[in-house]
Structure 1
């Protein structure tokens, strides 16, 4: 996949905000300027669905491509298996998501990132692009964004889509998690980052209900941001574009202590092994 020519570039474009969202339209129009783009996206908002997969989904023709009554993972599986041209796409792009996807804890929760992870299992490189929107307590669903707000996301995603394959970036990364600030005049610089390790989920009970709280977003003040240099959260809050090169599937480490525990289990249960 690393030698794809931009003039012949085949891109599968999806998202988790739904096929009628402003972000996917903005990316579609930009990527179509230099690539053959096939859109396969959820018919409705599927935010925070992770890598949920369906056994069967309905598909509809849409002016941008295909809409599925399913998840972003469904869209990638269907797009790479049943809805794209005879040649497998060179690249999957997911986004642009309205709202950032920052930190290790969102990697399995975000539908946008999960689409990129799904592509990795097909051995297709992917870019997941999300936009950090400071909301000051306003629900993100009530924030009305215009196409021009996605200018920063369009610039960097287009650049990476055109250049990263030929540069060999995906010889070392399965996908790129890209987070951008809102467009604000001059283009923002890019920082290669690692996902923040911050995790501040908690819950409280109120009668027969449990209220879940994600308190990470309460500490996004640039003056007091607790995340160290080099993390995705710090880069975006300080106005830089965060690009985290990530791998999937996740690898495991051989663990000698677990081997000893396994041997102890065999011995305690009278199990004979060849080892």
Structure 2
């Protein structure tokens, strides 16, 4: 592909610019587009759409390291660094971002949402890493683990825009399994509604616990067919087409109480 025809891609993440996931994506996307990396200098997992007013910037062998959040990186990349991209890709995250409740919490997804508010098509990409009996922080990944996530991202970058996908979706939330004996199929999904957080009071501390990960490790998930979590646990690449602005619905009950609001 001629450089003049290649898409301009802004690549970011929330695991930090030195992570294996962004390295794997960078090398693959660099073959099909002009990639500019603007990513956090260190791990910014689960910061959501937190935004700074001023951030430091340093050149890095992969691009630009920002002392800030994924959303900071998108704004900095679009408005201060350039070139202005045709597409923003966020990832690949070490750990899945599945379910409605995660969308606002994930730094990976939040970078895609930030781009969507600028009107730039975006793709958030994450890797499902089964924990088994281990704690998540004990699990390490290397470049080969991201093969399915990279393959899916390359395909979507090459085909989604021309196919008109972003005429209806603002961004895609992609979750891929680890590589298996056969290539993983891809399926369109919706975010799961299942939510299972709990908290335990221990003296002067409270421990917050996302029990969804325990369920996934045990294979005990109630997510139905068609949801993102079910697809990934079953070994498929999940692609959820999503919109960024919050939607509003007409509620007659709210109309009634607003009409009754006292004027003094």
Q: Which TM-score band applies after superposition, normalised by the shorter structure?
A: over 0.9
Q: Is the Cα contact below 8 Å between 1:222 and 1:237 reproduced in 2?
A: no
Cα shift at 1:33: 0.2
The residue aligned with 2:155 is: 159
Question: What stretches of structure 1 move > 6 A for 4+ residues in a row?
Answer: none
Q: Which moved more, 1:117-126 or 1:219-228?
A: 219-228
Q: Is the Cα contact below 8 Å between 2:132 and 2:217 reproduced in 1?
A: no
CA, structure 1 residues 68+167, in 2 after alignment: closer, same or farther (shift >3 Å)? same
Cα-to-partner distance string for 1:206-233 (whole Å, 9 max, x where unaligned): 1111110110111115854211110001
The residue matched to 2:194 in structure 1 has which SS? coil
The residue aligned with 1:273 is: none
Alignment of 1:44-83 (within 5 A): 44-83=42-81
Q: Is the Cα contact below 8 Å between 1:6 and 1:34 reproduced in 2?
A: no
1:257 counterpart (244, 253, 258)? 253
Cα shift at 1:137: 3.6
The residue matched to 1:210 in structure 2 has which SS? strand
Cα-to-partner distance string for 1:60-94 (whole Å, 9 max, x where unaligned): 00111100000000000000111112xx2000000
Return the TM-score normalized by structure 2.
Answer: 0.96
C-alpha separation in 2, matches of 1:257 and 1:241: 41
Cα-to-partner distance string for 1:77-120 (whole Å, 9 max, x where unaligned): 000111112xx200000000000000000000000000000001
C-alpha separation in 2, matches of 1:27 and 1:203: 36
2:109 counterpart (98, 107, 113)? 113
C-alpha separation in 2, matches of 1:166 and 1:108: 28
Alignment of 1:124-273 (within 5 A): 124-220=120-216, 224-265=220-261, 268-270=262-264
Cα shift at 1:256: 2.3
May I ask how many residue pairs the two structures share in their alignment? 262
Q: Is the Cα contact below 8 Å between 2:14 and 2:70 reproduced in 1?
A: yes
The residue aligned with 2:95 is: 99
Q: Give unpaired runs (5+ residues) of structure 2.
A: none
Between structure 1 and structure 2, the one with the greater Rg is: 1
Return the TM-score normalized by structure 1.
Answer: 0.92
CA, structure 1 residues 222+215, in 2 after alignment: closer, same or farther (shift >3 Å)? closer
